[in-house]
Structures are given as C-alpha cells and as structure tokens.
C-alpha cells in the first residue's frame, strides 16, 4: 500500500466501479431469477447506489437445495485433484480481478482500501489452501494397520449439500472460504451471503463458476434471515457453515437438533469479548500501537477486534494518555480516500446499537477519548466516532458490542488470577492479547484462559490462512479452525474398508499361524 502505481490502480478501479451497475440475484443451476429489485447503498455515502439485489423467496430454497442434492453424486465423484485444480483456477481469477473486488468491497462493505486488499488476498489463500488440503487428504484411501491377510483403509467423502451463511464484515473472504472448503471436501453448496453485502458475493460466485465449478454444485440465494432459516430447516441440508452472532448460531443449532433425519454438523464461528492483558513490563508505545489497530481497524467490526484492554495500574495513566493521543490522529471518513483509517459501520441499525451503548457508558464510565467526526465527510454515511472509556469491570458488559468502542480496566499485579477469572467468566474464547516481557506471566495467563487465538506482544487481528488458523471455543464457536489443517475433516464423512485378502487367494497359512499350522 506504499506503492504509488498500485494506489493509482486502486483509485482508478474505485472510479470505474462508480460507472458499473452491479446486480445480485438468486442463481439456481446457473439460471438467474428475476423479480423486484432494491438498491444496495454504500454505508460510507447513502447517496451511492452500488447496485441492485433481487432477494430469494422461500420457494427458491427448496429448488436450490434439490438442484444441489442432484448435483452431489457427480461432484463428490469428481477426483479431489480435479476439484482442487478448479479452486486454484478460482484463486487465479480472484487475483486477476483484485482491483475491481477491492473497489466493490470498499463501496459495498465500507472497508478501507488496505483492509479490502487484505481480504481479497485472504479469499485467494482460502482457495489455494483448501485445494492443497484436498489433494493431500481426499485423493485416495489412507492405509491403516491390521493383521497379515487383512487390508484396512480410511477414506474421506462429501456429506451432501452444505448451507454456507456468511457475514457482512468479511463479505468476500469468509464467503469464499466457506464455499471453497465445502467444495474441496466434495460437497455441493447453497450459499447465502449477508443481506448487507450481496453484490461482492454475487461476483465471487460468478468467478467460481467461470473457474469451472459446476452450476448445480454452487447455488446462490441472497436474502435476509428468513432464507437462512429455511435452508437450515430443510431435510436436504447435510451441513451448515455459519459465521455470525452467538445468538443466531444457537438458533441454528436448535433447528438442526429438532428436525427429523440425519444428525447435521454445524461449523460456527461466532463472537467474542476479546481482551488484551498488558503488565507493567510491556512497552507503553507498543501497547498503544497494537491496541489502536486491534480496537479500531475495520471500525471495530472484526470478530477478533479488541473490546477490553486490561492495563496494569502502574502504567495505566501513561498508556491512557498515549492512547488518547494516538486516537486523535485517526482519520475517519470515506474509505474510498486512501487517507482514511476508519470507515463507517455497516448500517443504521449497527450505529443505533453503538449510540445506545455509548450513552449507557456515559452514565457511569470515565471517558478517555472520542474521535472527532468531520461533519462534511461523514454526514451521508453511517459513521460512528471511535471512543475509549475506563470501566471498573468486564462484568459490566453483558454481550459483545460490535464496533469501535474500547473498554479499559485497570488491574493490580496481585490480582492477575482474578483478571483471568473475570475474562473466563464471560464464556467467550475467541482472541486474546498479552503484552508482557515476563515469560512466567505469559504462561500463567495462557494456562488459565482457554482461547482459540492468542497473540503475544502484537496486535490481535489479521489471522493468516495456514499460519494462524482462526476460530474460538465456548460462546465463540464450535471449531474446527478456518484456514487450518483440520477444517476440511468437519465437512467430510469418514469411511473405513476392511478386506480379508485370504478370501481372494491370499496367504492363508500366515493367517493360521496362531492356530499352530
């Protein structure tokens, strides 16, 4: 992002995007459905109509699932190496359209250009990583040990039709990652993107089909939560990959448990009351640098974003002073401007929740800093000023607040165990940061807190596919971790085969050695 020709290409792509009318519509067996459409507005500027969406009907759900179910035998029977090659081809197409995808993510999702570039790269990484995993694990039976005269093996197979429900905060990366994993494992897919960001999802589906993914193997149903609920409840649904709130994940689990038919796996990555614990051995400047990135990047709209900073009392005043100064330097505005550090929140409903939470904090918490908003730059979008408050306990926070609000809690050295207990009592286990130069303290915290992704002396965002597989536990998800070596197993059925080779003329004498022959 420091390369001038690259920045010029991105600027031109955003300008060209303004002249494109993007469309998202139900796509079943490769046929686009018509109907009444509505405008998709940019959260940065409601005057910007990014495109139009035709939302699916509940009637489309049954048809899409039936098409995907009919396509399953052929796709599951396609060699894993072929499925992998198609995903690699999709990665190439995503790379080739990177500037356009960045522009669309900026306009539709309100993400900054740097975040959008990282997101496209992550989508590419998901395709390539799951392709490699498919070649390694799905290409043929895995030999297992057994007695002489017997052959044993284990093979991995697709389960059927996977329903993939993705969020708006990573409208391309998570959407593509879920689909790529399901397809790599031999499943067919019906994908429902977040209702706020259907346009970039529709373009991703187009590229996957262009790469060679069969039309029946990947179907697309934009719409609201009713479409997702109908997909999950249908008997044809053989698995669900979901990223979103803990509350919705619980509803999905209840639906799956209550319906007739086979038991259906749920792969859920949900929210977190993510914390960072900093002791007095940590460098205040480094703490603040990583806290600002973790709490306010993407307007705090990351699953991994920092919600609560625990700072040891000995350095708390200094850190809070530096934090206020660093926040003062943040530029809040339209992410189409490369100078913007923090863009809008996704929609008016999200902003209203943040306003209500800030009003509640104002009634008792100690304000540290609230970023000023440029009225001219933000008046037409759903912007919310990043802010930080000091509170007395994490127990004040009953649930995750998804946006750029940081809560700061002071702690004393003798109270570290109580700090860990308070964090554990939230029930979440997604991301954790530790800033300390004392190995014993780091081990003490990591031994006590059961968290999916822990980061030491760095920020807590930006997990890299294959390097930091992402996903939590407890209220933060079911596992396994996206972008990790165990992820595809959850999308698969395992089958063993045991063959008595003596029945086909093998060495019967060896089989009978224990009988004295």
pLDDT (tens digit per residue) in 449-491: 999 999 999 999 999 999 999 999 999 999 999 999 999 999 9
What's the rounded Cα separation, in Å, for the pair 481 and 29? 30
Q: What length does the chain have?
A: 517
Sign of CA dihedral 124, 196, 344, 278: negative
Same structural domain, 40 and 105: yes
Same structural domain, 287 and 237: no
Q: Summarize the confidence of residues 22-36 as an average pLDDT.
A: 97
Same structural domain, 78 and 189: yes
Contact call for residues 301 and 312 (beta carbons, < 8 A): no
- Residue 517's pLDDT band, with cuts at 50, 70 and 90, is very low
- Note the pLDDT tens digit of each residue in 221-277: 999 999 999 999 999 999 999 999 999 999 999 999 999 989 999 999 999 999 999
Same structural domain, 99 and 152: yes
Contact call for residues 187 and 215 (beta carbons, < 8 A): no
CATH number of the domain where residue 381 is located: 3.40.309.10
Residue 514 lies in a domain: no
**What are the DSSP calls for 455-477, one per residue?**
EESS-S----TTTS-B---GGGB
CATH number of the domain where residue 25 is located: 3.40.605.10
Whether cis (ω within 30° of 0) applies to the bond prior to 226 is no
Phi, psi of 364, deg, nearest 5:
-150, -25
Residue 501 lies in a domain: no
Say if residue 280 is exposed, middle or buried (CB neighbours under 10 Å; 0-12, 13-18, 19+): middle
Residue 140 lies in a domain: yes
Residue 303 annotated as catalytic: yes
Same structural domain, 325 and 291: yes
Q: Summarize the confidence of residues 124-134 as an average pLDDT.
A: 98
On whether the pTM is more than 0.75, the answer is yes
pLDDT at res. 177:
98
Give the number of domains in the chain.
Answer: 2
Give the chain's end-to-end CA distance (angstroms, integer): 75
Q: What is the mean pLDDT of the chain?
A: 96
Same structural domain, 402 and 435: yes
Residue 479 lies in a domain: no
What's the rounded Cα separation, in Å, for the pair 322 and 386? 15
* Tokens 């697309």 found at: 220
Percent of the chain with pLDDT over 90: 95
Domain that holds residue 252: 4-269+487-496
pLDDT at res. 510:
53
What's the rounded Cα separation, in Å, for the pair 157 and 83? 13
Query: Starting at the edge strand that comes first in sequence, how are the strands of the sheet with 49-53 ordered?
Result: 22-24, 49-53, 38-41
Contact call for residues 162 and 154 (beta carbons, < 8 A): no
- Catalytic residue of the set 63, 100, 122, 269: 269
**What are the DSSP calls for 6-34, one per residue?**
HHHHHHHHHHHHTT--EEE--EETTEEP-
Residues of the chain by 3-state class (helix, strand, coil), percent to 5: 45, 20, 35
What's the rounded Cα separation, in Å, for the pair 361 and 391? 8
Residue 473 lies in a domain: no
Asked if residue 512 has pLDDT above 60, the reply is: no
Exposure pattern of 189-210 as b/e (b: 16+ CB <10 Å)? bbbbbbbbbbbbbbbbbebbbe
- Residue 507's pLDDT band, with cuts at 50, 70 and 90, is low
pLDDT at res. 506:
52
Is beta strand 275-278 parallel, antiparallel or unpaired with respect to 387-390?
unpaired
Same structural domain, 112 and 42: yes
Closest by CA position to 433, among listed 292, 224, 249: 292
> Residue 349, by phi and psi: left (phi above 0), alpha (psi -120 to 50) or beta?
alpha
H helices present in 221-312, as ranges: 225-233, 246-258, 284-296
- Catalytic residue of the set 164, 237, 303, 420: 303
Contact call for residues 466 and 483 (beta carbons, < 8 A): yes
């Amino acid at each position: 992002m420091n390369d001038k020709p690259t920045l010029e290409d991105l600027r031109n792509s955003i300008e060209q995007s303004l002249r494109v009318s993007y469309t998202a519509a139900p796509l079943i067996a490769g046929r686009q459905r018509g109907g009444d459409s509505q405008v998709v507005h940019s959260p940065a500027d409601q005057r910007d109509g990014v495109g139009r969406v035709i939302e699916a009907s509940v009637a489309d759900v049954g048809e899409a699932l039936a098409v995907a179910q009919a396509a399953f035998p052929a796709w599951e029977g396609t060699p894993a190496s072929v499925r992998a090659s198609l995903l690699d081809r999709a990665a190439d197409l995503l790379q080739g359209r990177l500037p356009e995808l960045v522009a669309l993510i900026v306009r539709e999702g309100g993400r900054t250009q740097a975040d959008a570039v990282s997101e496209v790269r992550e989508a590419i990484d998901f395709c390539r990583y799951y392709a490699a995993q498919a070649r390694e694990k799905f290409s043929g039976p895995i030999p297992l040990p057994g007695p002489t005269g017997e052959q044993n093996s284990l093979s991995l197979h697709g389960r059927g039709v996977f329903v993939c429900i993705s969020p708006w905060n990573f409208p391309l990366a998570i959407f593509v990652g879920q689909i790529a994993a399901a397809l790599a494992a031999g499943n067919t897919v019906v994908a429902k993107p977040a209702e706020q960001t259907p346009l970039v999802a529709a373009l991703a589906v187009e590229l996957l089909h262009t790469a060679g993914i069969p039309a029946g193997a990947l179907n697309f149903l934009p719409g609201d939560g009713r479409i997702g609920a109908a997909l999950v409840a249908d008997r044809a649904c053989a698995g669900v990959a979901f990223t979103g709130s803990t509350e919705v994940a619980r509803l999905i689990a209840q639906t799956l448990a209550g319906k007739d038919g086979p038991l259906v796996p749920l792969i859920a990555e949900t929210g977190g009351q993510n914390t960072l614990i900093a002791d007095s051995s940590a460098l205040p400047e480094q703490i603040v640098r990583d806290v600002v990135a973790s709490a306010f990047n993407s307007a705090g709209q990351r699953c991994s974003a920092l919600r609560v900073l625990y700072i040891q009392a000995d350095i708390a005043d200094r850190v809070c002073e530096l934090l206020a100064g660093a926040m003062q330097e943040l530029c809040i505005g339209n992410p189409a401007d490369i100078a913007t550090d923090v863009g809008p929140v996704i929609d008016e409903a999200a902003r209203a929740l943040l306003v209500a939470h800030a009003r509640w904090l104002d009634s008792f918490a100690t304000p540290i800093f609230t970023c000023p908003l440029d009225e001219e730059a933000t008046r037409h979008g759903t912007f919310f000023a990043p802010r930080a408050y000091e509170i007395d306990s994490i127990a004040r926070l009953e649930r995750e607040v998804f946006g750029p609000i940081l809560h700061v809690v002071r702690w004393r050295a003798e109270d570290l165990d109580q700090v860990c207990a308070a964090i554990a009592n939230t029930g979440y286990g997604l991301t954790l940061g530790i800033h300390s130069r004392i190995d014993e303290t780091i081990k003490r915290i990591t031994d006590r807190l059961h968290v999916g992704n822990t980061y030491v002396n760095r920020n807590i965002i930006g997990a890299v596919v294959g390097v930091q597989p992402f996903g939590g536990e407890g209220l933060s998800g079911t596992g396994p971790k996206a972008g990790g070596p165990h992820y595809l197993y959850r999308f698969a059925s395992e089958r063993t085969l045991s063959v008595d080779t003596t029945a086909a003329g093998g060495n019967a004498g060896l089989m009978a050695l224990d009988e004295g022959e």
